[in-house]
């Protein structure tokens, strides 16, 4: 069974680092949490509305990881 994702400090810090590069004015913990929540919700919606796209993304990820 799949684990339930919980936002953690490492993920928040990683997103803050990303935001510092692309949008420094909004590189805050609050924005990082909102970004992570939105991404989680988007994947959930995609799993219901466009599972083929989600599978395509996953298959591409697997290929990248296998070639590394």
What are 33-56's pLDDT values in tens digits?
999 999 999 999 999 999 999 999
pLDDT confidence of residue 2: 57
Q: Tell me the DSSP string of 30-60.
A: HHHHHHHHHHHHHHHHHHHH-HHHHHHHHHH
pLDDT confidence of residue 5: 86
Q: Quote the CA–CA distance of 55 and 48 in Å, as a whole number.
A: 12
Domain-wise residue ranges, the chain: 9-67
In Å, how far from its chain's centre is CA 9? 14
Biggest CA-to-CA distance, the chain: 39
The token pair that represents 38 in the structure block: 């939105």
Whole-number percent of the chain with pLDDT over 70:
96
């Amino acid at each position: 069974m799949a684990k339930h994702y919980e936002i953690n400090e490492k993920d928040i810090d990683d997103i803050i680092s990303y935001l510092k590069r692309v949008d420094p004015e909004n590189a805050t913990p609050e924005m990082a949490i909102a970004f992570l929540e939105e991404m989680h919700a988007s994947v959930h919606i995609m799993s219901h509305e466009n599972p083929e796209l989600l599978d395509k993304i996953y298959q591409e990820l697997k290929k990248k990881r296998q070639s590394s």
